[in-house]
Amino acid sequence: MINRLVLCLAALVLAAAPASAVEPFIVGGVAADQEYPFVVSLQSSTGKHNCGGSLIAPDRVVTAAHCVQGRNPDMLKVRIGSNDNSQGGEELRATGLAVHPEYNPDGARGDIAMVRLEKAAAAAPIPLGASAAPGTTTRLLGWGQTCPELGCADKPTQLQQLDTSIVAPEECATVAFDGAVELCTDNPGDTAGSCYGDSGGPQLAKVDSKWVLVGVTSRPGNDSDTCGTAPSIYTSVVAYTAWITEQLAAPTPQPEPSPEPSPEPTPEPTPEPTPEPSPEPSPEPSPVPTP
């Protein structure tokens, strides 16, 4: 089975662990050197970080399908616009989830999902990129582990970033990979890349000195449980622009209206009792004549 499930389950285990246990960060990266108002920490209802995400519309977040498949939106919330996943920014509840219909945990397509928020966020969304070809310089963001083995780091809360680039699809050929809808992303020095807890987070590119979203963290490019030993695989936001646009246009589900209460029946007026007719008096007997 593709390692994305391992990464997701690991993130959930970490989120449920005590405060002294591991939380997520990128391996080989550095602390974020700027604010990213669109960056999202997808959390449990109790505030534990599970996955990353990106605000792409005032009330929509894009993340990885494996982060939310089968989950109840009532048990999720997001923190938007803070480099610290434990404080700051804005907290909003999730009210709906949409997983791409092609997503299959054992396949190489459709690892993308949308989270609908309870209301519009105050932060500015990030625009979607229009292209993402091999050779494109990109930046990865996430709260995933900073060391490559599961459970090897202290609890961090600060966002990490890693500058890398998209490489040829052949670099990810050792696992299921679809170059038409996925991005093979370099692991600098064969030691850096996304790791446990980075799932769903953004891959950015710069266009006219502004960040655009080109990818969503999906899984490693090999079968190793050690992070950074192969390129990372990102779902191409560019390839799924049509699906994203369709989801953004979907109307907000309206709650079922409460049934109107049945009107109280108007009581029938009690009929007045019909008075009994008075008995007619018996006629006086005629006097019998005296003989």
Residues annotated as part of the active site: 66, 111, 199
C-alpha atoms less than 13 angstroms from C-alpha of 143 in its C-beta half-sphere: 29
Backbone angles phi and psi of 188, in degrees to 5: -55, 130
What is the C-alpha to C-alpha distance for residues 29 and 161, in angstroms, rounded to an integer? 5
All residues at 6 or more sequence positions from 77 whose CB lies less than 8 Å from its CB, including other chains: 43, 44, 45, 47, 91, 92, 93, 94
